[in-house]
Amino acid sequence: MLLYKLFLFCYPKIAKLLGLFNPKAKQWSMGQAGVWEEIANKQLSINGHPTIWIHTASYGEFEQGLPIIEAIKSNYPGYKIWLTFFSPSGYLHRKNDPAVDVVTYLPFDGPENAQRFIQTLHPSLIIFIKYEFWYYYLHEANQKGIPVILSSAIFRRNQLFFKWYGGFYRKMLALFTSILVQDETSLQLITPITDDKQVLITGDTRFDRVLQTVNEKKEINWIAQLSNHKNIIAGSTWEEDEVIISKATAHFTQFNWIIAPHLVDKKNIENCKHQFNNAITLSELIETGIKHTKPMVLIIDRIGLLRTLYRYSFVSYVGGGFGKDGVHNVLEPAAYGKPVIWGHNDTKYKEAIGLRKQNGGFSIKNEAALVMHLNELLQTAGYHEQISQNASNYIIDNAGATQKTMAEISKQLDRS
- In the prediction, which pLDDT does 416 show? 66
Is residue 405 located within the same domain as residue 393?
A: no
Specify whether the CB–CB gap between 117 and 141 falls below 8 A. no
Kindly report, residue by residue over 274-287, the tens digit of the pLDDT: 999 889 999 999 99
User: How far is C-alpha 227 from the chain's CA centre?
Assistant: 32
Q: In whole angstroms, give the CA distance from residue 251 to residue 204.
A: 37
Total tally of structural domains belonging to the chain:
2
| Helices 239-249 + 266-274 axis angle, to 10 | 30
Which domain does 346 fall in, by range?
Answer: 216-397
Mean pLDDT value of segment 183-209: 90
Q: State whether 274 and 126 are in the same domain.
A: no
User: Predicted confidence band at 311 (pLDDT cuts at 50, 70, 90)?
Assistant: very high
* Residue 33 reports pLDDT greater than 80: yes
Q: Residue 181: inside a domain, yes or no?
A: yes
Residues 167 and 268 grouped into a single domain: no
Distance CA 376, CA 389 (A): 16
Does the pTM surpass 0.75? The reply is yes
**136 within domain boundaries:** yes
Q: Please give the pLDDT value at position 404.
A: 96
The answer on 222 and 135 residing in a single domain is no
CATH code for the domain of 159: 3.40.50.11720
The answer to the question of residue 17 being in a domain is no
Residue 175 sits in the same domain as residue 253: no
Sheet holding 80-85: strands in order across?
102-105, 80-85, 51-56, 125-129, 148-153, 178-181, 199-201
Does residue 249 fall inside a structural domain? Answer: yes
Mean pLDDT to the nearest integer, 383-398? 96
State the pLDDT at residue 303.
Answer: 84
Residue 15 lies in a domain: no
| Residues 235 and 355 occupy one common structural domain | yes
**3-state class of 340 per DSSP?**
strand
- Look at residue 16 and tell me if it is in a domain: no
% of the chain residues with pLDDT over 90:
76
Cβ burial, residue 140 (10 Å; 0-12/13-18/19+): buried
The overall average pLDDT reported for the chain is 93
182 and 65 together in one domain = yes
Q: Which CATH number fits the domain that encloses residue 284?
A: 3.40.50.2000
Q: Do 314 and 188 lie in a common domain?
A: no
| 407 in the same domain as 380 | no
Instruction: Please check whether residues 143 and 289 belong to one and the same domain.
Output: no
Q: Convert the pLDDT of each residue in 252-263 to its tens digit.
A: 999 999 999 998
Same domain? For 154 and 251 the reply is no
- The answer, yes or no, to whether residue 269 has pLDDT greater than 70, is yes
> How do residues 315-335 score in pLDDT, each as one tens digit?
999 999 999 889 999 999 999
Whether the pLDDT of residue 196 is over 90: the answer is no
Residue 399 neighbours by CB under 8 Å, 6+ apart: 203, 207, 208, 211
Q: Looking at the structure, tell me whether residues 54 and 197 fall in a common domain.
A: yes
**Interatomic CA distance for residues 5 and 7, integer angstroms:** 5
pLDDT at 197 over 80: no
